[in-house]
Amino acid sequence: MSERITKVTTSHWGAFEVTTENGRIVGTGPFREDPRPPPIAGVLPAAIHHRTRVTRPSVREGWLKGGKERNRDGRGQDRFIELPWDEALDIAGAELERVRSEHGNGAIFGGSYGWASAGRFHHALGQVHRFLNAIGGYVPSVASYSTAGAQAIIPHVFGMNFLKLTWGHQNSWPMIAEHTETLVMFGGINPKNAQVSMGGVTRHRTLDWLRRYLDSGMRLVNVGPQRTDTIDGAEWLPVIPGTDTALMLAMAHVLETENLVDREFLSRCTVGYDRFRDYLLGVGDGQPKTPSWAAGLCGIEAERIRALARGMASTRTLITVAWSLQRGQNGEQPYWMAAVLAAMLGQIGLPGGGVGYGYGAIGGVGVPLKRLQGLALPQGENPVKDSIPVARVADMLLRPGGPYDFNGQRKIYPDIRLVYWCGGNPFHHHQDLHRLEQAWKKPDTIIVHEPWWTATAKRADIVFPATTPYEREDIGRSPNDAFIFHMAKLIEPVGEARDDYQIFSQLAARLGAGTVFTEGRDASDWQRHLYEQFLQNAASEGIEIPPLDDLKEKNWVELPIEGPEHVTVPFASFRANPEADPLDTPSGRIEIYSDRIAGFGYDETPGHPAWREPDEWLGSPDVDKHPLHLVSPQPGDKLHSQLESALADVADARPMPIIMNPADAARRSISDGDPVIVFNDRGRCRARASVSGDIMKHVVAISTGAWFDPGVDLIDQQGNPNVLTRDIGTSRIGQGCTAHTTLVDVVRD
């Protein structure tokens, strides 16, 4: 008789039970400590054993037999030749040696952008970066598609790394519950997005907190194009996408002209308000930023803007800003302006007041937790000092040697000859995928580790079959979560799959860097070594963690690091005495006006937050041709594009739904469920109409996550919105992605 075994493991969407039988994953179930377990894991058995798994090392025929040029245009079209592991590793090692010998390590791009595993050792990003550093270095990317604009602007305003602010200087959920009276959510707070977090979120409680707030009488205001971006019962201000800064400016105008500004706080804790006030009142440009002015831009009535501003001034108010707002052209501006608005209210440093970023964008934000570091594989030192902003990959490949500006620096794109991608799917998350496809043909060689034949794997030259987290042993933990897991090896690797560490160890040996990479340890040795370091570091913090063998026996433990004793008031000491506890800005204070940014000389980003009209929005001339604004939020049924192979098999699940307002659907004779084509000058994709009054008129939404699948007519068959989005930077400050600056139209298919 076959033995059925059930164990708990974890993932970026949290912990869950996995049942195996006869060497296969046959079922999943919820983790008992999770009050609201997401349904994502339900498709796991089908995905792990899916026909799209990469089962053997594979080399693209045109690359293998194509001579010097290697038929780069064949990427995505050629067939692959399966080879034995040793032969494939020899080929990859020889090509790495050729590139670094002929062009230097600065011609290698280490492209790991993804959430490959919640396991701390088998984390693809750390593995590939350690390997490339061991063989002499590489060009990395900096920041993230989710927060690049925020990561650039926040240090100028608050003097700290954006992630440090997110996890260490924001109001916790309990503090909001106790003190906040008005919660104004730009971009909403969406429990759907909070299902996931880097390394996992074990207890999903965002929805419960929001319900508690509503039940207590707290005023919740959802500012965004979709009612569903937060809990039912919140007030909805359906703002035109890309105009949040104009709305905030109008609210600031009300505060200033009605003398609702906390001038004492501005004087003590900020710099540059007088220069910003001149802009606000129209001293230089002749345009006061009044509610009437903003109403014509953002679609919110002037009196409603005035009423909200007055209500915020008369109550303890927390302004929150979703990550989505900075994923648009000039996306740095609403982040900066939200800080200025909170400073004008004078509530930064008060419990339950001020400004916060990313609530609901990811799980773990707002949890009162003592954060313990550790369990990360050391990546070593990178001798190559060049890097690029993460969302500028296509620019780099298309314009080697070309200049670009980034956060006050003039930089030059490197000439990349080899791309090594491990953990991630750029043909999911990058913008303007047809442009990326052209850029993808430029390097000599592309090497990918991948469990599935994704669009990225299909467009590579050498593909190594990688294990999933369920086919190897690891330790699962997020620094933003109280649980730690022993992630047992649940099944044997599918096909001939190997884990990244094994692949890189064998490649490093071929390149004379085996000892540098492994330090004489196998995967099990490394996990024990890293765990022992983590245990000792935690002990120095007064936190007792069980030995590794005990953790393996127990499967998981909850660490004593979450609770009310970890609730702190962000910026309280700064507010109390900014001279004694200054911020790490040039002035030591919150910078409403930044001399440093003004010195960059960027027209789109003056020395203070400002309204800058996007190139594509519902107020631009292009609206005559493409009259609908597309937003592309995160999916609710998976993390990014993970598990998509199996989800695409579900009846009526693909192509992706496009949410449309009833008036927009009726104007096009489209009914709920109809097949449609969404298009603009950059691309076309198929979708299914989902008609709903929960989205404002002239705005449509397609969640990301469908695998890029262009047909012979180049129409994407699955509904990937990034065939439509625009591949330009947010600004020269952040150079982030601008997915939400996109106009389209829709017709019946």
Crossing angle of helices 500-510 and 523-540, in 10° steps, is 110
Three-state helix/strand/coil letters over 259-315: CCCCHHHHHHHEECHHHHHHHHCCCCCCCCCCHHHHHHHHCCCHHHHHHHHHHHHCC
Q: How far apart are CA 451 and CA 455, in angstroms?
A: 12
CB atoms within 10 A of CB 554: 13
User: Pick the catalytic residue: 13, 115, 273, 293?
Assistant: 115
Q: How far apart are CA 730 and CA 326, in angstroms?
A: 8
Phi, then psi, of 441 in degrees rounded to 5: -85, -5
Instruction: Let me know if 115 is a catalytic residue.
Output: yes
User: Pick the catalytic residue: 113, 138, 413, 421?
Assistant: 113
Closest CA relative to residue 590, chosen from 167, 262, 252, 159: 159
DSSP 319-354: EEE-GGGGSSTTTHHHHHHHHHHHHHHT-TTSTT-E
Closest CA relative to residue 416, chosen from 93, 108, 103, 140: 108
Q: How far apart are CA 661 and CA 694, in angstroms?
A: 7
Instruction: Let me know if 167 is a catalytic residue.
Output: no
DSSP 591-619: ESS-HHHHHHT-TTS-SS------SSSTT
Q: Are 685 and 724 in contact (CB under 8 A)?
A: yes
Identify the residue whose tokens are 């969407």.
Answer: 13
Query: Is 539 strand, coil or helix?
Result: helix
Alpha-carbon separation of residue 671 from 667, 691, 703 (angstroms): 10, 7, 19
Say which DSSP state 17 is in. Answer: E
Burial of 5 (0-12, 13-18, 19+ CB in 10 A): exposed
Q: How far apart are CA 13 and CA 169, in angstroms?
A: 24
Q: Please give the positions annotated as active site.
A: 113, 115
